Amino acid sequence: MRADELEVTSDALRGKIIEAEASNRVKAEFLATMSHELRTPLNAIAGYTQLIDMGVRGPVTEAQHLDLSRITRSQRHLMGLINEILNFAKLEAGTVLVAETDVDVREILTGTKEMMAPQMDRKKLRFDVSVLDGLEGSPLAIRGDEDKIRQIVLNLLTNAQKFTPEGGSVEVGYDSDETSVSIRICDTGIGIAASELRNIFEPFVQVNPLLTRSTDGVGLGLAISRSLARAMGGDVVAESTLGSGSTFTLTLRRATVAAPAADA
């Protein structure tokens, strides 16, 4: 192709990219506005249900109390889904701010372990975070946003817990080199077929919607996690074998920790 033809092609391509980005932004903004509109009446449902349940409007029978708790449960479920959609829309619209700080890997793993342990216990899963011992005397830090890193790790751990049958195990590991740190979450769960593996990071993709719909989630967790990781200059990847388990790896930039000053 001649140089002038190449220039026309690349101009046309650039135009298409700008168009696609603009349309993406409009869609994401619409989604964000809609999510706000949906949350307002849901808050009202929660408020009035609570008011009735407290007996403010008159005595409440046991049967009515049960119905009200069902309304509250459904309201919370719907609110959770809408919040997830709103988070995703914000990410797509590019309105999420990502902090740049040094984040201690040990703190992330300790915090997420404490948050997840009760759920793992309830499902009789072996939850192994013994890698923490190795971080005792040698601090390891990631460059990124602490809340967002915790959100990603929690999401991967929640999935591992959701998709691993009772009696299985979930193990957390890490790797590091001079420039990056990887946090690995391995489970002995149901696994994902190779043909599905490349799609699971796409928004609203669930391999087995019947199974997942009975639990929480709409198929946005991995899409959000990967976008957040990429916004911090990293990535999330998955390996899996159907029927024997999956490994999700979050890789982020390693913080360059200053060498300790020599004793005078």
Round to whole Å and give the CA distance between 256 and 171.
27
Structure tokens that stand for 102 in this block = 């040094």
Of 21 and 202, nearer to ligand ADP (C-beta) is 202
Provide the minimum distance between the beta carbon of 116 and ligand ADP in the complex, in angstroms, as a whole number.
13
Of 91 and 220, nearer to ligand ADP (C-beta) is 220
Of 68 and 86, nearer to ligand ADP (C-beta) is 86
Round to whole Å and give the CA distance between 107 and 99.
17
Provide the minimum distance between the beta carbon of 179 and ligand ADP in the complex, in angstroms, as a whole number.
27
**What residue is closest to ligand ADP based on CB?**
217
Of 49 and 182, nearer to ligand ADP (C-beta) is 182
Provide the minimum distance between the beta carbon of 176 and ligand ADP in the complex, in angstroms, as a whole number.
23
Provide the minimum distance between the beta carbon of 160 and ligand ADP in the complex, in angstroms, as a whole number.
5
DSSP for residue 254: B
Provide the minimum distance between the beta carbon of 82 and ligand ADP in the complex, in angstroms, as a whole number.
14
C-alpha 187: how far from its chain's center?
Answer: 17
Of 35 and 246, nearer to ligand ADP (C-beta) is 246
Round to whole Å and give the CA distance between 156 and 151.
9
First to last CA, the chain: 67
Binding region for ligand ADP (CB under 6 A): 159-160, 163, 187, 189-192, 200, 205-208, 212, 217-223, 246
Alpha-helical runs (H) found in the chain = 3-53, 62-92, 105-122, 131-134, 146-162, 194-197, 209-213, 221-231
